[in-house]
Structure 1
Amino acid sequence: MRNAEPRLKFIKPMEPVLVLEPPLSDDWLHEIKYDGFRVQLILDWAGARAFTRNGHDWSKRFWPVVAAAEKLKAKSFILDGEMIAPEPDGRPNFHAMHSRMSWNAELLAFVAFDILYLDGADLRVLPAVERKALLWDLVKPAKGIIQYSQHVEGGGAEFHAAADAMGLEGMVSKRRASPYRAGKTDAWVKVKCWDVSDFDLWGIKRQAGAETRALMGRDGRYAGSAALPKGLRERLWQRVKAGKSPPGLPQGVPQGVPNAIAGDDVEWLQPGLVGTVRTLRGEPKLRHATLQGFREKE
């Protein structure tokens, strides 16, 4: 006989706000920022399901995790977490996600970092630190395909430094007393680590009343822009006055520079310059980036 109770529904996830420095007070929990797909696991009387951050049912793609969720000792729950493709050392490999979803889903893992509902009780009003204790009781020892996101309390700067040294994307910090509220909120913040790497330096964008930016590319594609410190700006401007490319994009640069970027206020440089850029790790394009220096391409 079919159960008369309605099935549990997907809940819009809580989203962290990006900040550039970790919170320093002791009323924050700090966790690794896992590089994967945000997933919500739901178990009710009809079985388990897995939903993406936008509420799409991807249970078939994540079937081994869904099967493992049905073995947890609870009648119903809603778990929030990240689906990752872990390497042997446990670090997530985002580039392996798609191939594992298609061919080796049993090599995925779900890292649970919050619990919203358990056996008839809505837990969202509880403090984050209490929700995590209930989550641990449910998923422990959490060494298999369903894992647990460990946290530390306080010491945000030290935690961020450790994540950076390990080559991780960043960290997420949560106020220990915060309830779970859908959407973006500053009760959760994400702090990314920084990368310093080389890009092709294509041009300079100067706008009245706006910051001067260096336009960068990589492998023939537009990668974004970087802030241009005053000393470097003056050196680059001397190069522009000494001779620049004809109007339009430098020869050999393909499509990909947005129309809003490639305007009359851009001075395109002669090809052959490499710029060293400091930028947030794990972003598809340069973000909060700053040009550190430039040199001739070898």
Structure 2
Amino acid sequence: MQKPMLPTLTFEVPIGQDWVYEIKYDGFRAILYWTHDNIELISRNGNNLNEQFPELIDWCLKSQELFQPHLPLVLDGELCILESLYKANFELIQQRGRLKNKDKILKYSMDKPAHFLVFDLLEHKGNQLSNQQWLSRKKELKQLFESLNLETKINPKDQQYIQLINFNGDYESIWKIVTENQSEGVIAKKVDSHWEAGKRTINWFKIKNWQKAVFFITGFDKINGYFHVGVLRNLEVFEIGLFSNGLATNERQALLQVIRNNATTETTKFLQVLPGICVELFYLELFKEQLRQPSFSKFCLDMNWKDCTWEKLVGNTPKIPSDIEISHPDKPLWKDKPITKQDYIQYLAAVSPYMLPFLEKRLLTVIRYPHGMYGESFYQKNCPDYAPDFIETAESDGNEYIICNDLKTLVWLGNQLSFEFHIPFQTINSTGPSEIVFDLDPPSRGEFQLAVKAALILKEVFDNLKLISFVKTSGNKGLQIYLPLPEHQFTYEQTRKFTEFIATYLTTSEPDLFTTERLKKNRGNRLYVDYVQHAEGKTIIAPYSVRGNDGAYVATPLFWNEVNENLSIENFPLESINERINKKGCPFAHYFGVKNEQPFEPVLKFLYQS
């Protein structure tokens, strides 16, 4: 077993023809040893990770025959739980690393699957490559992927659990990607370098995507030598982290002397000081409301400590593109919730990795609330004349629709106070429906359990038909069931035959509970099964879109085991969703991966024959 070659941290970026650059993903460094009769995933510290990441080992076992001609094989890479094409989720991989229970590990591997992002090839067909130059190894690695017809680009939605990290020769362009997507940083690699096992080399450099903000000192820990810092949050001092790195010897001594001179209390372990001493710190990100890897930047002697606020810190998050100015960030939006415009846009930015795939390349209709829940709302289909140049559009039926493909557009729409995002059942490139959606609409929120009952009946039907289904709340009063479909394969006429058949089955099996009657006055207290809504030009609320209702409830993807008598729309307000994703993962994580596996054609043939 080899020890990995490690990059050296630097603030000086090496530039020149001898250097190329890779995105740095935040995960666990590991080396995969794959022979004809054994697969071992080994951590940087020499620990076997097979049981911790069963999804990767299972994928390798299923791919054993494909890889057989290339074994033995040794791959170097990073184990990550991807949040987007360019960013891995540090918190989720940390959670996985702490799990010990096999059942929990299996559940997490299904709900929050990890990918092994490979950046180096150390052995191929039993031939040791560590004595070859890095660029030669990298080219052979890409050729390996291509020869096996494997995807050669990072794709969080792909169930190919071994993926390839590519390099870029232009530092400026890759750094732009890093900063816009809040990636961890960049690894610079010298093209003619050789493998140096177990060594922290100067042929590989890591350049981290540091953020900067100003904090005030709250004290000094005599035991470990760390300075504690805080911000003002809700008019109270909130401790947000501690640092030691980055200070020169004279800076450390000067800071410590000021703290001693102004200490309000002192124990054998700690010096406490009132807010007043302000410092600028580098940090990677906020992790559980604490600074991750803070490091000293400079003293801010002219800064008023009262200006070091939680709102400024959160508002400075790199998730929100720096060239979009948030107007009136403190504006309250809900009468019954302390949610500001800044909070709402922070929500959109945080949930964007899970929401954007459903908005991508779709004609977007939004409902805008210029005054939040305090005023009138209106539908917007046409892109307004004042929209910035980066907003993409597409024409359809005389309307110039916005296409929300990226975070920048999503944040801009949030700044326009677009609450509800409604999307059609196909993309602008589709020749037919991209999915089937059943909208289960009870007469009121009080009859929500009717939607639960209908959903469970449909789940049993779809399981018997071997169809893969997903479920989400509407964010209002009902549930919606999704059946993803392969692109360009079916027509709305064909899916209409299926949806009508299913709706008829449901209403005839329980006619006192369910109806397809479109007129509300004729429904009584029955749940409306809206199969007519699934048609070309019609829309449905997008996953993770907040609704314009009291309570700020979100159209939330669910795991099927959550659909029971305890389920309620009120369980999913806006302020709870990001924590829910971090704890449970996204129930729609595999949605796009199963599109081509959906066995819908045999079901359709049966319907046409009957």
Q: TM-score, normalised by structure 1?
A: 0.75
Aligned pairs for 1:248-263 (under 5 A) are 248=267
Q: Distance in 1 between matches of 2:305 and 2:240?
A: 19
Who is 2:179 aligned against?
A: 164
Q: Distance in 1 between matches of 2:6 and 2:108?
A: 29
Query: Is residue 2:224 matched to residue 1:215?
Result: no
Query: Is residue 2:133 matched to residue 1:127?
Result: yes
Greater percentage in strand: 1
Who is 1:281 aligned against?
A: 284
Output one character per residue of 1:146-187: Cα deviation in whole Å (capped at 9) or x when no partner: 11111112x335533441232111111110011111121111
Q: Distance in 2 between matches of 1:40 and 1:81?
A: 6
1:79 counterpart letter in structure 2: L
Output one character per residue of 1:53-89: Cα deviation in whole Å (capped at 9) or x when no partner: 1111111111221232341522210100000011255
Q: Which has the larger radius of gyration?
A: 2
Q: 1:65 aligns with which of 56, 61, 81?
A: 56
1:166 counterpart letter in structure 2: N
Query: Is residue 2:243 matched to residue 1:224?
Result: yes
Aligned pairs for 1:1-298 (under 5 A) are 10-70=1-61, 71=63, 72-73=66-67, 74-89=70-85, 91-100=87-96, 102=105, 103-106=107-110, 107-139=113-145, 140-142=150-152, 143=155, 144-153=160-169, 155-182=170-197, 183-203=199-219, 215-218=227-230, 220=239, 223-225=242-244, 227=247, 244-248=263-267, 269-270=273-274, 272-273=275-276, 275=278, 277-281=280-284, 284-292=292-300, 294-297=303-306
Contact kept? 2:228, 2:239, Cα under 8 Å: no
What secondary structure is seen at the aligned counterpart in 2 of 1:66? helix
How far did residue 287 of structure 1 move? 2.6
What secondary structure is seen at the aligned counterpart in 2 of 1:245? strand
Instruction: Provide the aligned length of Structure 1 versus Structure 2.
Output: 262
1:164 counterpart letter in structure 2: T
CA spacing shift, 1:291–1:111, aligned 2, 3 Å: farther
Q: Distance in 1 between matches of 2:31 and 2:201?
A: 18
1:80 counterpart letter in structure 2: D
How far did residue 276 of structure 1 move? 5.1
Identity of aligned residues (%): 22
Consecutive unaligned residues of structure 1, counting only runs of 5 or more, are 1-9, 206-212, 250-258
2:108 counterpart letter in structure 1: N
Q: Which has the higher contact order (CA 8 A, sep 6+)?
A: 1
Contact kept? 1:34, 1:92, Cα under 8 Å: yes
1:35 counterpart letter in structure 2: D
Greater percentage in helix: 2
Contact kept? 1:85, 1:100, Cα under 8 Å: no
Q: Distance in 2 between matches of 1:290 and 1:165?
A: 25
What secondary structure is seen at the aligned counterpart in 2 of 1:289? strand
Contact kept? 1:195, 1:281, Cα under 8 Å: yes
How far did residue 236 of structure 1 move? 11
Contact kept? 1:160, 1:171, Cα under 8 Å: yes
Q: Distance in 2 between matches of 1:188 and 1:51?
A: 21
Q: Distance in 1 between matches of 2:204 and 2:168?
A: 15
Q: CA RMSD in A?
A: 3.4
What secondary structure is seen at the aligned counterpart in 2 of 1:20? coil
Q: TM-score, normalised by structure 2?
A: 0.39
What secondary structure is seen at the aligned counterpart in 1 of 2:138? helix
How far did residue 284 of structure 1 move? 4.2
Q: Distance in 1 between matches of 2:264 and 2:228?
A: 16
CA spacing shift, 1:44–1:238, aligned 2, 3 Å: closer
How far did residue 295 of structure 1 move? 2.4
